[in-house]
Amino acid sequence: MRVSYMPGGIGAVAYSTIVSQRPGEPGTIVAFSAGSLLNLAQGKFGAHDEDDVRWVASVGADYGAVVVPADSEYDSLTAMMEAIKADPGSVILGAGGTIGSQDWMKAALTARAAGIDHKSMRFVAFEGGGDCATALQGGHVDACMNDVGDSQAAIDGGAPLKMLAVFSPERLPGKLADVPTATEQGYAIDWPIVRGFYVGPEVSDEDYQWWVQAFETAMQAPGYDALLQSRNLLPLPLTGEELDAFVTEAVANYRALAGEFQLVQQ
């Protein structure tokens, strides 16, 4: 399988390319994540919306995380947020994406839950979570609003980092079992990150169903759960109409959330 990378707008360039230039290619599938859905909700994909492609499958889920250096003075999310509340300029938060991105949104939601004006946050935008983690290790930021998968992969690779919290409804299994949730620490925030694939809007029903069935078969195969665990992902086996309904609901929720933070007009 040939893989092509189309950076730009957290999926916007790829989305536009498929919809406008390659809408009917049956052999072309495109990866997406919750970040793409959030940008769709804010109108950052131009004239395109969530109904302009055919959603095939969700292959797993990740969750947001708060990451700091291993030797950070903060040993909990509560301690870090109390420091921000006392002096908003004392803590520099880094994240992948600019204002309105899902990493920014996690920071803004946490600030709001702590009774802090999100506009007072010291926020530094990076191209992606990896760049933020590098800046974190270099002492340029104090914390990253990152994802569990990327963060744990960096920690497994020897990066001197630790997670203060995960944005999941309950503690995650395995090596992440000791990381408390944000909710446990007084910040009732869940931020699941779906990861999946779509095809162009003019792909035939026959070819679309071929992809749906192929993903269903793959996700039911022995060893698939082990592959997810090796990538610090959790199961979220949605396909076809079920995924389409999930995306529709998610985008509606993101659109409402964006309105609350005055990122779009409601």
Full pLDDT tens readout for the chain, 266 residues: 899 988 877 788 999 999 999 999 999 999 999 989 998 999 888 888 999 999 999 999 999 999 999 999 999 999 999 999 999 889 999 887 778 888 889 989 999 999 998 888 888 887 777 788 888 888 899 999 989 988 888 888 898 999 999 999 999 988 889 999 999 999 999 999 999 999 999 999 999 999 999 999 999 999 999 999 888 888 999 999 999 999 999 999 999 998 888 886 44
247 and 140 in a common domain: no
Residue type, 187: Y
| Residue 4 located in a structural domain | no
Of 185, 218, 236, the last residue of a domain is 185
Q: Which residue has the tokens 């299994």?
A: 173
| Residue 229 located in a structural domain | yes
245 and 177 in a common domain: no
| Residue 220 located in a structural domain | yes
Spatial neighbors of 243 by CB under 8 A, at least 6 apart, are: 55, 56, 57, 58, 196
**pTM of structure:** 0.85
87 and 140 in a common domain: yes
Tokens of 105: 């949104």
197 and 179 in a common domain: no
Domain with residue 45: its CATH number is 3.40.190.150
Q: 122-126 and 92-96 as β-strands: parallel, antiparallel, unpaired?
A: parallel
178 and 67 in a common domain: yes
Counts of helices then strands in the chain (DSSP H, E)? 9, 8
Tokens of 237: 């086996």
Can you tell me the distance from the alpha carbon of 11 to that of 5, in angstroms, rounded to the nearest whole number?
A: 10
| Residue 67 located in a structural domain | yes
For residue 128, what are the domain limits? 62-185
Tokens of 92: 């520099």
Contact 96, 126 (CB under 8 A): yes
162 and 66 in a common domain: yes
Of 153, 185, 217, the last residue of a domain is 185
Q: What is the pLDDT, as a whole number, of residue 138?
A: 87
User: How many domains is the chain built from?
Assistant: 2
131 and 23 in a common domain: no
Q: What is residue 122's three-state secondary structure?
A: strand
Q: 92-96 and 143-147 as β-strands: parallel, antiparallel, unpaired?
A: parallel
179 and 133 in a common domain: yes
CA end-to-end span of the chain: 42
Of 157, 185, 213, the last residue of a domain is 185
Task: Identify the bridge partners of residue 66 per DSSP, sorted by sequence position.
Answer: 145, 165
| Residue 209 located in a structural domain | yes
Q: Which of 72, 81, 150 is nearest to 114 (CA)?
A: 81
Domain with residue 85: its CATH number is 3.40.190.10
- In degrees, rounded to 5, the angle at the alpha carbon of residue 9 between the alpha carbons of residues 5 and 15 is 65
Can you tell me the distance from the alpha carbon of 85 to that of 102, in angstroms, rounded to the nearest whole number?
A: 22
Tokens of 51: 């109904």
